[in-house]
Amino acid sequence: MSKKVFFALIIATFLSNWLPAQNVKVATFNAALNRSEKGALLQELLSDEKSMQLTYVAEIIQRVQPDILVLQEFDYDEEDRALRIFEEKYLSVSQNDAEPIDFPYFYLPETNTGYNSGEDLDNDGKYNGPGDAFGYGAFPGQYGFLILSKYPIVLQEIRTFQHFLWKDMPDALLPIYPESGDSYFNKSDLAVFRLSSKNHVDVPVLVGKDTIHILASHPTPPVFDGPEDRNGKRNHDEIRLWADYISGDGKVSYLYDDKGKKGALPTNAKFVICGDQNADPFDGDSYQGAIRQLLEHPKVHAGLVDGKIVPSSKGGIENAKNMEAGHRGNPAFDTAGWGLRVDYVLPSANLNIKDSGVFWPKSKKKYAYLTAPKASSDHRLVWVEIALD
């Protein structure tokens, strides 16, 4: 633990007895800052020429002003250089007169994307392609994610599930060929195949006297496969990991983290599940009921199930007019440019929700340039403001 974090924890603990109630805004944003080659994002950040995409992404974050942000599709950098430069050149500098933002605390988890498994996981006869990595990727760390926070992160209590094997989940939806009933993966594949396509991380954040567990992940898209639906089933079980984790020890006696510790999130813990889950409750190609494992979970805030406080936007409604017929979900809840709700900020039922939203203005409204096609990302930033006692 760094001295900065150590002293911040001491101060926060000392002040916790008299700090007034406060509101905390938690957000997730798939910013589409992944690049096709290793180091390309860093080189773009080091360039003297300002990147418009990075500028727009930073301005969106500044307009929303989240206190805790899960930023996705930001290529992993072992030395944190890309993040530090992004903060220095973009987040801490006003973009188009927006208020700069500072996140003193951050955590960059390692990711399974691009790390070769040594097996032919996509059954194409080759052993070194992006589909043979533990998570799809052209290089180690592509499509990574990170957690940024204005509040101290309790680094020594972080739990990660990067190495958990899919076969070790009871009743896992391991893919089979529908015609023959044979397993898609052979025994050698299953011996190394990790469930998490990127990583699943439990990051405790200290807010006054409260600890909020940020449960961050980015399951694989449920497409780009065949009749075995290997990506759809993996997506379902990646989401299931969190559903089991928040349920209690009876559900996750099987689950081990990367340090070998078993067990669930403590029963009364406060948490927020964040990330691009690549699953819509009504539309799209996700496996049946995938995201409903969370949306209908008794420990997830009910207001995010019945539509009372679902993050929404008018831009999503406008965008739906350009979509194909058959959209069953409420387009106000959509979070992606292709018309699906895939990005989520889901607080636990023991947290009070004050407000929520999707940053997606209508095309003729202020700041619409930030979400125009190819401006920033094909996803929208989603946020929920919670009130702490």
CB 87 within 8 A of CB 77: no
pLDDT score at 15: 45
- Here the CATH number for the domain that contains residue 71 is 3.60.10.10
Q: Point out the residues of the chain with pLDDT beneath 70.
A: 1-21, 304-308, 324-325
pLDDT score at 5: 47
Task: List the domain range (segments joined by +) for residue 384.
Answer: 3-388
Per-residue model confidence as pLDDT tens digits over 15-30: 444 455 689 999 999 9
Residue type (1 letter), 340: L
pLDDT score at 21: 60
pLDDT score at 215: 98
pLDDT score at 3: 53
Q: How many independent structural domains does the chain possess?
A: 1
pLDDT score at 17: 44
* DSSP-assigned beta bridge partners for residue 17: none
The DSSP code sequence of 250-269 is: TT-TT-B-TTS-B--S-TT-
pLDDT score at 77: 86
Per-residue model confidence as pLDDT tens digits over 91-135: 999 999 999 999 999 999 999 999 999 999 999 999 999 999 999
* DSSP-assigned beta bridge partners for residue 160: 201
pLDDT score at 240: 98
* DSSP-assigned beta bridge partners for residue 114: none
